[in-house]
Structure 1
Amino acid sequence: MKTKLGLQILLDISMTITLMLLMAFELIGRTAHEWIGIGMFGMFILHHILNWSWTRNLFHGRFTLFRILQILCVFVIFITMTGTIISSVLISRQVFSFLSISTGRSFGRMLHMLCVYWNLVFFSFHLGIHWNVMMGVVRKLCKRKNVGSVLLLRMIAVSIAVYGIFAFVRHGIPNYLFLRTQFVFFDYEQPLVLFFADYLAMLELFVLIGHYCASGVRKIGKRREMKTE
């Protein structure tokens, strides 16, 4: 495995873990949430540094359907991350308290909720778009390809995704995505381990959606290329 690819995968795993911790805002405490958020921002910058060659060539080359999907996803994540950072400064009580910002808290809270939950969706979707890369690494590490194991893993993935739909509704995520409520509600009786299990299932749901969307778009693109030849 190349060093850069290894770093990118390690960073993606770290960002996923960090995102899960950030979603447990009320369960881990405000101070921890704010400092972990700073760490997430740092990893977001590092991610773009490691992928600078892709950004630099953004407007060069052919714009295939897959590439358009990829660019749209990255653009939305950039918007949601920017909104998250701005709103974080507005509502911060610890890390940015030295700025003494006393206005815009209500707007900042709503913007933060909106951006954070859409970021969860598109971050997961983005992972799904590039899932083939990670699976390629796994295939290289596993010398033998067992058809039965592949089928079993797919069944487990689909089962987790189905549970992710249940968790998505149970936690009221649609309400946060479309601002049907101004506050995030937490079940304080739910163990932290089960909370993370719910959110990982939701993340896996959108990873799966992103993966199959990307696969479908690639197939459509190949068919178009064959027709034009």
Structure 2
Amino acid sequence: MNVKMLLKLTNDLAMTILLLLAMAYQITGNTMHELVGASLFVLFVLHNILNRRWYKTIIKGRYNLLRFLKVSINLLFLFTMTAVLFSALPISQDVFPFITVNNDMLFRQIHVITAYWGLILMSIHIGLSWGMIVNAVRKMTGITGTNRIRTLCLRLLAVLIVVYGIRNSFERNLGSKLTVYDPFGFWVSNDSSLRFLIEYLSVVGIYIFGTHYTLKFIQKHSKYKRSMRGQ
């Protein structure tokens, strides 16, 4: 694995962790929340610098449905993260207290709703590149061959994560957070940092594995159709 790829993976992992920490406002408190957000902004800029060549490819080549969906998801993720980070400036109390507005409710609404959409779009974004990430990890760990038992166990683990994530999505009322701003929030009683992290990681897993295996199914189906046409 080259240095640039390792830097990309490390940066993306750090972004994922920081975004999850940013969601835990009731646990971290406001000051830590804003410091995490500021760090996330730096990593987000670095992510775009490391992947700047992707923007040049948008206007090149032909588009099919799959490529259109990939580009749309990536651009929506870019838009939501930009909205999250810039809407945080007018409502900052500790890191940027000198930036103030008379009525910050609109910015709070934008900040919270786009944050949850950003979490989902980030997960789908990772899912679109999950195959590449797995291959990079295999090279880094020296795993070259395939193993049916290992593959079966990993797929079973993915299913369990998705099922657990769906359960947590309902328990934490995530559906309403994507459409309605709740100034008081919804918090699970007796919550802890570890429980929060595990449950939100399972929610992220829904969209990573859902996207990855849907993408594999579409690609396999497309290959099958091409092979049938060639007969």
1:2, distance to aligned residue in structure 2 (A): 1.7
Matched pairs, number: 228
Structure 2 residue matching 1:189: 3-state secondary structure:
coil
- The reply on whether 1:117 has 2:121 as its aligned counterpart is no
Give the aligned CA root-mean-square deviation in angstroms. Answer: 1.9
Alignment map for 1:57-206 (pairs within 5 Å): 57-99=57-99, 101-140=100-139, 141-179=142-180, 181-187=182-188, 189-206=190-207
Which residue in the other structure is 1:53 paired with?
53
CA contact (8 A) 2:112 2:181 kept: no
CA contact (8 A) 2:9 2:133 kept: yes
1:183, distance to aligned residue in structure 2 (A): 3.6
1:5, distance to aligned residue in structure 2 (A): 1.2
Tell me how far apart the structure 1 counterparts of residues 199 and 193 of structure 2 sit (CA, whole Å): 10
Of structures 1 and 2, the one scoring higher in RCO (CA 8 A, sep 6+) is: 1
57 and 41 in structure 1: CA distance in 2 versus 1, 3 angstrom threshold = same
Tell me how far apart the structure 1 counterparts of residues 30 and 184 of structure 2 sit (CA, whole Å): 15
* Unaligned ranges ≥5, structure 1: none
Identity in percent: 31
1:61, distance to aligned residue in structure 2 (A): 1.2
* Unaligned ranges ≥5, structure 2: none
Tell me how far apart the structure 1 counterparts of residues 226 and 107 of structure 2 sit (CA, whole Å): 47
Tell me how far apart the structure 1 counterparts of residues 23 and 171 of structure 2 sit (CA, whole Å): 15
Which residue in the other structure is 2:31 paired with?
31
168 and 120 in structure 1: CA distance in 2 versus 1, 3 angstrom threshold = same
Tell me how far apart the structure 1 counterparts of residues 77 and 103 of structure 2 sit (CA, whole Å): 23
CA contact (8 A) 1:114 1:176 kept: yes
1:173-200 Cα distance to aligned partner (Å, 9 max, x none): 1011011644422235112101110000
Tell me how far apart the structure 2 counterparts of residues 215 and 182 of structure 1 sit (CA, whole Å): 40
CA contact (8 A) 2:165 2:203 kept: yes
Question: Structure 1 stretch 217-226 or stretch 76-85: which is displaced more?
Answer: 217-226
1:204-224 Cα distance to aligned partner (Å, 9 max, x none): 111012112322343455456
Which residue in the other structure is 1:208 paired with?
209
1:67, distance to aligned residue in structure 2 (A): 1.9
